[in-house]
Chains A and B, each alone.
Chain A
């Protein structure tokens, strides 16, 4: 009996040479079941270059009020879950499979929202984190057995129209150990005031130091870690006398990483987070030299135990002929000193700076609300075609819905309603004489007559009674706002049940 599985041919020799229909009868369903299981298990073939991992288990600490009842990845932007945008980007790039890391509680919600709002062609493998205190690097350590090739790590809150092959080309050309996506901050997203907050929270900047070609990253430091000065090692300056320091770039948390980094993470358990710990560690280790064992054990002393910390350079293995090729090739990435190509550095970290285009992370309340306000712009950039008014929406006469809004299905809108720069979720009921400007209404919100909502976020199943005036507020899920209430710059969230 021959079975074809994934390109390999397995042959079973029948144990009994003669006819044994009973045995075959027993074997065939088992074999077909085995085949069924094998084919439906997610198997990464060797030809895949990058294995995408979507990090959707984050607690969403900066979106705390909104994520109390639902995971951050399932929050709706333009009536699609936040995690849908990176999934869409992966689908467009041609990926067929991805691993998505979720929290145990959040998995059901994310799955429900994804299937409800849109069709996802990408085959997602859900992996739950066992310990909620785990950092992103700890998660990589946990799923080490599933990682077969180089990684593409994407956060769930990244909305971008970058074509992945640009950053992949930079990674491939220089055979980099780590490549990250950097983008200049779009000012309007971060300068707007968050609903519910009384003042602007200052945005944390990151400092990046590049070499003269603006590709290789020489150092990285976030503003929080910098007291007054940024210090750079003299040895780095000796190797790279020309350094370009940029402070206006954000790290989009999209990383292309070589497989050996995961092996190193397994060995070195002190690194818990990718952005705050692993990335600066790798950038620093670019310039580390191989440790020379200078002290041999004395002959008359007994060596009880030696603390062998695995040197990172032992993990960064190259192909067998890579050193020969570099030696034979007449190319050098820098001129003016006696050093070899790349200064002989085996670990190389590169950054791809995206000029123009759209790239933003919706991990704070202000960027989340601004993303909803600019949803049509996002749709044009990412090539999504959604009618701004869903065909099933009931719109009474004399009501105006701006072209830059998105209204989802099942919503009923009353008379003389004016909606501008807003996103309205599914099955909402909006009464008459309502004004909604610059706001986000999630699913199943009821807004009664005469209300005036400006610059706010209203979460699911809330009821806004008649003639409310809400300016710049954040209304949590299931809230009820009194008639004729006036709310300004407030956060009306779920109060603890006693």
Chain B
């Protein structure tokens, strides 16, 4: 249901904003008529709908969270996505008194906004570690139940983290898992027992689905001999799982070379390069505009993913789809390493309908040359666009390596169904 909705929301979007408004208003009226039907287009994709924005602003005010200043100039095509101006201080309105947002969450939000914690796995792990601290410090108020009150406490925290930086799919899945366990907590348990149980759940989620999955993926790569001696593996930008796989394979004694392809503005490839070279792997470093030249040398392409969508598409750092396209054109197999907790029920066919808009000022800095775009705001006809993610269609992907094994791209709904059945059992 959701993918049809987002697809239909995508097409009129390309045609013009008016048609989108009609569709969304129709959706709203349809939603109000049939109350049980879920919203076809979620709230955070309606940045151009004034009514939704007013509702969201009211909710933020009730939760006493800061409202970020909306960017003055956005590309018209992406009007439905949120883009915020870089603020002097996110936490300006927070007082230091106790009983507001938990300080661990404030710290986490700041680290997300500054980019200190970057990368799908890192963000999810940091969020779960923060929630562990929150649960440890939590005491159920009298006359209230832990299962309801804890969820109500966590809600503003999640809104705040969303305000700092849009939540990743991995974080969303982890929060869903946590909320499921909170709401299904039996009421007869004492406070500290319930908390202990929740902490154990979080610990086991971290251990099983994040940390050990990486080990399992690495082991699959090794067992199935996906990296052979003499391979030249092309990687794009920085992915923690790909780095782990390569370092483990090198430590096993396989002899291969790596080509790191990097792109502006984040230049995360430099960090990938540093870590691989420190492990002893011989590497080359290319910028993405030379990717087609680099592809002639490569025997395999290994990519990381932010999320795997239900229609088989891979959502990853912007530029990944280009690498996959060039690889397909040069007949180079593309392997995607992805843990199952990043699988998403959403389906997307393009990168426009759902994306994250980064800070456009990041594009101004071009190294040693004079920054020509320094005063881009003075030119009315000039707008900068800094997309963070893009979507790679399943035709370009040869194989997805997960901790459950090597699966084709299109098996994502199967895995999701299986995981759903598992959670319903517990």
> In the complex, are the beta carbons of B106 and A328 less than 8 A apart?
no
Q: How far, in whole Å, are A348 and B10 apart by their CA atoms in the complex?
A: 47
Closest residue of B by beta carbon distance from A6: B139
> A94 at interface (Cβ–Cβ under 8 A)?
yes
The smallest C-beta distance from A98 to any residue of chain B, in angstroms, reads 11
> In the complex, are the beta carbons of A93 and B106 less than 8 A apart?
no
Query: Which chain A residues lie closer than 8 Å to B98 at the CB level?
Result: 44-48, 96
The contact of B119 among A49, A166, A168, A330, by CB within 8 Å, is: A330
The smallest C-beta distance from A99 to any residue of chain B, in angstroms, reads 15
Q: How far, in whole Å, are A270 and B55 apart by their CA atoms in the complex?
A: 59
> In the complex, are the beta carbons of B118 and A330 less than 8 A apart?
yes
The smallest C-beta distance from B150 to any residue of chain A, in angstroms, reads 14
Contact with B along A453-486 (1 / 0, CB 8 A): 0000000000000000000000000000000000
> B375 at interface (Cβ–Cβ under 8 A)?
no
Query: Which chain A residues lie closer than 8 Å to B96 at the CB level?
Result: 48-50, 93-95, 164-165, 168
Closest residue of A by beta carbon distance from B214: A328
> A174 at interface (Cβ–Cβ under 8 A)?
yes
Closest residue of A by beta carbon distance from B128: A321
Most chain B Cβ neighbours within 10 Å, of A4, A49, A328, A332: A328
The contact of B122 among A46, A50, A169, A325, by CB within 8 Å, is: A325
Query: Which chain A residues lie closer than 8 Å to B117 at the CB level?
Result: 325, 329, 331
Given A47-B102, A95-B97, A335-B270, answer yes or no on A330-B89 (Cβ-Cβ < 8 Å): no
> In the complex, are the beta carbons of B141 and A7 less than 8 A apart?
yes
> In the complex, are the beta carbons of A166 and B89 less than 8 A apart?
yes
Most chain A Cβ neighbours within 10 Å, of B116, B118, B119: B116
Q: How far, in whole Å, are A95 and B98 apart by their CA atoms in the complex?
A: 8
Given A49-B96, A172-B106, A335-B270, answer yes or no on A328-B119 (Cβ-Cβ < 8 Å): yes
Q: How far, in whole Å, are A9 and B90 apart by their CA atoms in the complex?
A: 37
The smallest C-beta distance from A150 to any residue of chain B, in angstroms, reads 9
Most chain A Cβ neighbours within 10 Å, of B88, B95, B137: B95
> In the complex, are the beta carbons of B240 and A328 less than 8 A apart?
yes
Q: How far, in whole Å, are A279 and B412 apart by their CA atoms in the complex?
A: 55
> A142 at interface (Cβ–Cβ under 8 A)?
no
Q: How far, in whole Å, are A93 and B272 apart by their CA atoms in the complex?
A: 41
Contact with B along A207-250 (1 / 0, CB 8 A): 00000000000000000000000000000000000000000000
Q: How far, in whole Å, are A9 and B270 apart by their CA atoms in the complex?
A: 55
> In the complex, are the beta carbons of B125 and A332 less than 8 A apart?
no
Query: Which chain B residues lie closer than 8 Å to A489 at the CB level?
Result: none
> A133 at interface (Cβ–Cβ under 8 A)?
no
Q: How far, in whole Å, are A325 and B121 apart by their CA atoms in the complex?
A: 8
Given A49-B96, A165-B89, A169-B89, answer yes or no on A330-B139 (Cβ-Cβ < 8 Å): no
Q: How far, in whole Å, are A452 and B238 apart by their CA atoms in the complex?
A: 74
Query: Which chain A residues lie closer than 8 Å to B359 at the CB level?
Result: none
The smallest C-beta distance from B279 to any residue of chain A, in angstroms, reads 11
> B281 at interface (Cβ–Cβ under 8 A)?
no
> B268 at interface (Cβ–Cβ under 8 A)?
yes
Q: How far, in whole Å, are A8 and B107 apart by their CA atoms in the complex?
A: 27
> In the complex, are the beta carbons of B110 and A173 less than 8 A apart?
yes
The contact of B116 among A9, A93, A163, A174, by CB within 8 Å, is: A174
> In the complex, are the beta carbons of A173 and B111 less than 8 A apart?
yes
> In the complex, are the beta carbons of B137 and A163 less than 8 A apart?
no
Closest residue of A by beta carbon distance from B103: A49
> A338 at interface (Cβ–Cβ under 8 A)?
yes
> In the complex, are the beta carbons of B91 and A168 less than 8 A apart?
yes
> B126 at interface (Cβ–Cβ under 8 A)?
yes
Query: Which chain B residues lie closer than 8 Å to A94 at the CB level?
Result: 94-97
The contact of B278 among A7, A172, A331, A338, by CB within 8 Å, is: A338
Q: Give residues of chain B (109-139) contacting chain A, Cβ–Cβ below 8 Å.
A: 110-111, 114-119, 121-122, 125-126, 128-129, 133, 137, 139
The contact of A47 among B88, B89, B137, B211, by CB within 8 Å, is: B137
Contact with B along A176-204 (1 / 0, CB 8 A): 00000000000000000000000000000
Query: Which chain B residues lie closer than 8 Å to A321 at the CB level?
Result: 125-126, 128-129, 206
Q: How far, in whole Å, are A50 and B103 apart by their CA atoms in the complex?
A: 9
Query: Which chain B residues lie closer than 8 Å to A174 at the CB level?
Result: 116
> In the complex, are the beta carbons of B270 and A331 less than 8 A apart?
no
The smallest C-beta distance from A166 to any residue of chain B, in angstroms, reads 6
Given A169-B91, A173-B114, A174-B116, answer yes or no on A330-B240 (Cβ-Cβ < 8 Å): yes
Query: Which chain B residues lie closer than 8 Å to A325 at the CB level?
Result: 117, 122, 125-126, 129
Query: Which chain B residues lie closer than 8 Å to A327 at the CB level?
Result: 240
Q: How many residues of A contact B (CB 8 A)?
A: 39
> In the complex, are the beta carbons of B137 and A338 less than 8 A apart?
no
> In the complex, are the beta carbons of B116 and A329 less than 8 A apart?
yes
The smallest C-beta distance from B358 to any residue of chain A, in angstroms, reads 14
> A116 at interface (Cβ–Cβ under 8 A)?
no
Query: Which chain A residues lie closer than 8 Å to B240 at the CB level?
Result: 327-330
> In the complex, are the beta carbons of A331 and B99 less than 8 A apart?
no
Given A96-B97, A166-B89, A173-B114, answer yes or no on A330-B238 (Cβ-Cβ < 8 Å): yes
Q: How far, in whole Å, are A93 and B97 apart by their CA atoms in the complex?
A: 8
Query: Which chain A residues lie closer than 8 Å to B94 at the CB level?
Result: 94, 165
Given A93-B96, A320-B129, A330-B238, answer yes or no on A172-B102 (Cβ-Cβ < 8 Å): no
The smallest C-beta distance from B131 to any residue of chain A, in angstroms, reads 11
> B274 at interface (Cβ–Cβ under 8 A)?
yes
Given A163-B92, A173-B114, A328-B119, answer yes or no on A319-B107 (Cβ-Cβ < 8 Å): no
Q: How far, in whole Å, are A270 and B365 apart by their CA atoms in the complex?
A: 48
Query: Which chain B residues lie closer than 8 Å to A497 at the CB level?
Result: none
> A409 at interface (Cβ–Cβ under 8 A)?
no
> B22 at interface (Cβ–Cβ under 8 A)?
no
Q: How far, in whole Å, are A96 and B119 apart by their CA atoms in the complex?
A: 37
Q: Give residues of chain A (310-327) contacting chain B, Cβ–Cβ below 8 Å.
A: 319-322, 324-325, 327
The contact of B125 among A46, A164, A328, A335, by CB within 8 Å, is: A328
Closest residue of A by beta carbon distance from B317: A330
Q: How far, in whole Å, are A96 and B90 apart by their CA atoms in the complex?
A: 22
> A206 at interface (Cβ–Cβ under 8 A)?
no
> A267 at interface (Cβ–Cβ under 8 A)?
no
The smallest C-beta distance from B206 to any residue of chain A, in angstroms, reads 7
Query: Which chain A residues lie closer than 8 Å to B141 at the CB level?
Result: 7
Given A96-B97, A338-B278, answer yes or no on A331-B91 (Cβ-Cβ < 8 Å): no
Query: Which chain B residues lie closer than 8 Å to A48 at the CB level?
Result: 96-98, 103
Most chain B Cβ neighbours within 10 Å, of A46, A163, A174: A46
> B229 at interface (Cβ–Cβ under 8 A)?
no
> In the complex, are the beta carbons of B107 and A175 less than 8 A apart?
yes
> In the complex, are the beta carbons of A330 and B122 less than 8 A apart?
yes
The smallest C-beta distance from A330 to any residue of chain B, in angstroms, reads 4
Q: How far, in whole Å, are A163 and B106 apart by their CA atoms in the complex?
A: 16
> In the complex, are the beta carbons of B89 and A331 less than 8 A apart?
no
Give the 4 A-B CB pairs with smallest separation, nearest first: A94-B95, A49-B103, A329-B122, A330-B238
A-B residue pairs in contact (CB < 8 Å), sample of 18:
A46-B137, A47-B137, A48-B96, A49-B96, A49-B106, A95-B96, A165-B92, A165-B96, A168-B91, A168-B96, A175-B107, A321-B125, A321-B206, A325-B125, A330-B238, A330-B240, A330-B271, A335-B270
Residues of B within 8 A of A (CB): 88-92, 94-100, 102-103, 106-107, 110-111, 114-119, 121-122, 125-126, 128-129, 133, 137, 139, 141-142, 206, 211, 238, 240, 268, 270-272, 274, 277-278
